[in-house]
Each structure stands twice: as structure tokens, then as C-alpha cells.
């Protein structure tokens, strides 16, 4: 099966009350861990590539890895550009075989966000590719995505209808309290997503697929493992999984997870290196790391997203 867009996936997810996992990929072991979990559970999948991942691994290697995953699994897989920050980057990914792109102009003024999103949508649709846009700004710091918490803002439901109509985007990422990275909420606080905003958006855009970024839940056993084996992560708190489950039963059709994969992989490698200081064959520590990613993704598919058996 060739790569698919997210169109059919989202329609079925919306009507079925579940969400599709969008997992960030940077290398072969990550692609294999994710796709093996999805294959075993017969789950549809979005593999996403950030600007930083593309810089790290190169467009060609990532495309070829995803093509290998398609061949090995036979699953419906969409290949998505995560946080495209310019028309040129989106165009390059569309020309290079991606089936979905995100144009993230959420930090720009509304009119500017609309103008650039519309331009990307026109080019993407002419080429059979779908577009995710963003309204509202998530906090968090990663390689290529940096927003201070004082510059973040919730999505204004009163803007969404006009934004979608004027841009023609196919899905919309909104800000309801999630954020990028492992340090989303202060330890000791009670994280609470703004379901009132999600409900209001859903009412204004019936049937339209909504996306949640920054949706890692930062499992504490992984943070503890990292610290046990020589790491030094201060209190890191993620999005409670029951709230993600609730969102996926509503209009949220795509849930983005990257940090949890990083934690799973790092915890596994740290443990291996600590317990086997004499080993130096990368296959020996990357095999359990790949398995740790697979376990984590299996859990997300079954217990959080609810998309098992939906391929
Ligand atoms: O939301 C951003 C993704 O987690 C990608 O992060 O830019 O460090 O690859 P990155
Ligand atoms: P996390 O940092 O919560 O994994 O978010 C990933 C993301 O939103 C990728 O676009
Ligand atoms: Zn994101």
C-alpha cells in the first residue's frame, strides 16, 4: 500500500471516537519500534518528521525508512511534516513525497497566519496533500520549536470558523493547555486541559478534525529510570492520559507524541550502559531501546488513542 493522506483516517476517527497517534521519527530504530507496535495492533499511523529531524537524518533517509515500514507492515501510514515554519519547507516536503504537512504560523498575527496557511493549502491540494494549521500558541522548547510560556496563548474559539473557511486547511491544531517537551506542568500541580475550549471549537466546526500537540504524558517510571541510571531530570510532568483519552473521544483525531519516545529510548539505553559498562556494540543497546519504544507505542494505541484494530 502506498502512503496515504490523513483524510480517510480522520473521518473514521472522528466518527468512531478515537484518535490516530502521530509519532516523531528520527532514525531507523524509532521507525521500527513504532511501526512494529502498530502492525501488531493493526492500527493506522502517522509518522511525522520535524525540521530538526530532517536536518539530522536527511529527507531521503527518512523517506526510505518510511517506505520500508510500509512494505513491512502493509498498514495505512501518512507521512507528515511536523511544524513546517515556511512555505518553502512545506513545498519541499510536498515535492519530496510527504502526504501531509503542517504549516505552523501560529506565532504570527492572525492575518499573516491565514495568508501563509492559504498559500500552503493551495499548493498542497494541487498535489493531493493535506494541510494541518495551528491557531493559538503552545509553550515549550525543543530543537526548532521555541515558545516561552509568557508568549503562549489558548486558542480563541471565536476565530476558528473564519480561519478554517479562509485557509481551506484540512485539520487544525489548537492550544488547550498542552505544551511541548517533558516539563509541561509544575510538579505538585493538577494538570487540567481546557475541555471547555475544545467543546466550543467542536460546536463551531462540526465534523472537523482537531489536533493536539504536546501530548506526551511523561511516565514517571521512565523519569525515575533515567535518574536511577545516572541521569538528572528534575520534576517532569506530562498530560494525564485519561484526559487524552477523553479528548480522543471528542473532535481530536490526531495526538502528537515525541517526548515520551525520547524518554523511553533514553531510559533503556542508560540502563543498558549502566548495567553493562563493558559493552560497546550499538546493536546491544539499540535492540532493547527499540523494544522500549514499541512497548510505549502499544500502550498509547490501546489505552490512550483507542485506534487498535482500526487500520
Ligand atoms: O514538537 C516538536 C517535536 O517534538 C519535534 O522536536 O524539533 O526537537 O525535532 P524537534
Ligand atoms: P511532546 O513534546 O509532548 O511529545 O509533543 C510532541 C509534538 O507536539 C510534536 O509536534
Ligand atoms: Zn508539536
pLDDT per residue as tens digits for the range 190-241:
899 999 999 999 999 999 999 999 999 999 999 999 999 999 999 889 999 9
H helices then E strands: how many in the chain? 12, 10
pLDDT at 303 > cutoff 80: yes
Q: Give me 76's grid cell.
A: 495505512
Atom of ligand 1 nearest to the CA of 145: 7
d(CA 57, CA 210) in angstroms, rounded, equals: 29
**Could you give the C-alpha distances from 109 to 23, 105, 106, 212, in angstroms and in order?**
28, 8, 8, 21
Of 8, 82, 126, 303, which residue is the catalytic one? Answer: 82
Neighbouring CB atoms inside 10 A of 185's CB total 19
Q: Is 144 in the pocket of ligand 1 (CB under 6 A)?
A: yes
- Which residue of 84, 212, 214, 260 sits with most ligand 2 atoms within 8 Å of its CB, as the best mutation to test the pocket? 214
275-298 mean pLDDT: 98
Res 137: pLDDT: 84
Output the CA 139–ligand 3 centroid distance in Å.
Answer: 10
**Per-residue pLDDT, 186:** 87
Buried b or exposed e, range 50-67, using 16+ CB within 10 angstroms: bbbbbeebebeebbebbe
- CA 76, CA 53: separation in Å to the nearest integer? 22
CA 214 / ligand 2 centre spacing (Å): 4
* pLDDT of 275 over the 60 cut: yes
Per-residue pLDDT reduced to its tens digit, 63-90: 999 999 999 999 999 999 999 999 999 9
Cα–ligand 3 centroid distance for 22 (angstroms): 10
Pocket test for ligand 1, best of 22, 23, 24, 140 (most atoms within 8 A of CB): 24
d(C-alpha 127, C-alpha 75), whole Å:
22
Task: Give tens-digit pLDDT for 133-192.
Answer: 999 988 665 555 566 666 678 999 999 999 999 999 999 999 999 999 999 988 888 899
Whether the CB of 258 sits within 6 Å of ligand 1: yes
- Residue identified by cell 556494540 is 281
Contact 260, 237 (CB under 8 A): no
Q: Using a 6 Å cutoff on CB, does residue 26 contact ligand 2?
A: no
Question: What's the pLDDT score for residue 149?
Answer: 63
Best residue among 142, 182, 183, 191 to mutate for probing ligand 2's pocket (most ligand atoms within 8 Å of CB) is 142
Query: Cell for 233?
Result: 531530570
**Average pLDDT of the chain, as a whole number:** 95
pLDDT tens by residue, 188-199: 888 999 999 999
List the one residue out of 300, 221, 213 whose CA is nearest residue 267: 221
Q: Does 256 contact ligand 2 (Cβ within 6 A)?
A: yes
pLDDT on residue 299? 98
Q: Whose CA is nearest to atom 4 of ligand 1?
A: 258
Structure confidence at residue 4 as a pLDDT band (50, 70, 90): very high
Is the distance from the beta carbon of residue 172 to the nearest atom of ligand 1 less than 6 Å? no
CA distances from 159 to 83, 97, 156, 205, 254 (A): 20, 32, 6, 11, 21
Distance 276 CA to ligand 1 centre (A): 30
Q: Give the residue, by CA position, lying nearest to ligand 2 atom 3.
A: 214
Q: Can 82 be counted among the known catalytic residues?
A: yes
Amino acid at each position: 500500500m502506498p502512503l496515504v493522506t490523513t483524510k480517510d483516517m480522520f473521518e473514521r476517527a472522528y466518527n468512531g471516537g478515537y484518535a490516530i497517534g502521530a509519532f516523531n521519527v528520527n532514525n531507523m530504530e524509532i521507525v521500527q519500534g513504532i511501526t512494529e507496535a502498530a502492525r501488531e495492533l493493526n492500527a493506522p499511523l502517522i509518522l511525522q518528521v520535524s525540521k530538526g529531524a530532517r536536518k539530522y537524518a536527511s529527507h531521503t533517509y527518512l523517506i526510505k525508512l518510511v517506505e520500508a515500514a510500509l512494505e513491512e507492515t502493509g498498514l495505512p501510514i501518512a507521512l507528515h511534516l511536523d511544524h513546517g515554519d515556511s512555505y518553502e519547507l512545506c513545498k519541499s516536503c510536498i515535492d519530496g513525497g510527504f502526504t501531509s504537512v503542517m504549516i505552523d504560523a501560529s506565532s504570527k498575527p492572525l492575518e499573516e497566519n491565514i495568508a501563509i496557511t492559504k498559500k500552503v493549502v493551495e499548493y498542497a491540494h494541487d498535489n493531493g496533500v493535506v494541510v494541518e494549521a495551528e491557531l493559538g500558541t503552545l509553550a515549550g522548547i525543543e530543537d526548532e520549536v521555541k515558545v516561552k510560556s509568557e508568549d503562549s496563548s489558548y486558542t480563541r474559539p471565536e476565530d476558528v470558523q473564519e480561519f478554517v473557511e479562509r485557509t481551506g486547511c484540512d485539520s487544525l491544531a489548537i492550544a488547550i493547555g498542552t505544551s511541548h517537551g517533558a516539563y509541561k506542568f509544575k510538579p505538585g500541580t493538577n494538570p487540567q486541559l481546557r475541555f471547555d475550549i475544545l467543546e466550543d471549537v467542536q460546536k463551531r466546526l462540526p465534523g472537523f478534525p482537531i489536533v493536539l500537540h504536546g501530548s506526551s504524558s511523561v511516565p514517571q517510571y521512565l523519569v525515575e529510570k533515567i535518574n536511577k541510571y545516572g541521569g538528572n531530570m528534575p520534576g517532569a510532568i506530562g498530560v494525564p492520559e485519561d484526559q487524552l483519552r477523553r479528548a480522543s473521544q471528542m473532535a481530536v483525531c490526531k495526538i502528537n507524541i515525541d517526548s515520551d519516545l525520547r524518554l523511553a529510548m533514553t531510559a533503556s539505553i542508560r540502563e543498558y550502559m549502566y548495567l553493562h559498562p563493558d559493552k560497546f556494540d550499538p546493536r546491544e543497546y539499540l535492540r532493547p531501546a527499540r523494544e522500549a519504544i514499541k512497548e510505549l507505542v502499544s500502550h498509547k494505541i490501546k489505552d490512550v488513542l483507542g485506534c487498535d484494530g482500526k487500520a
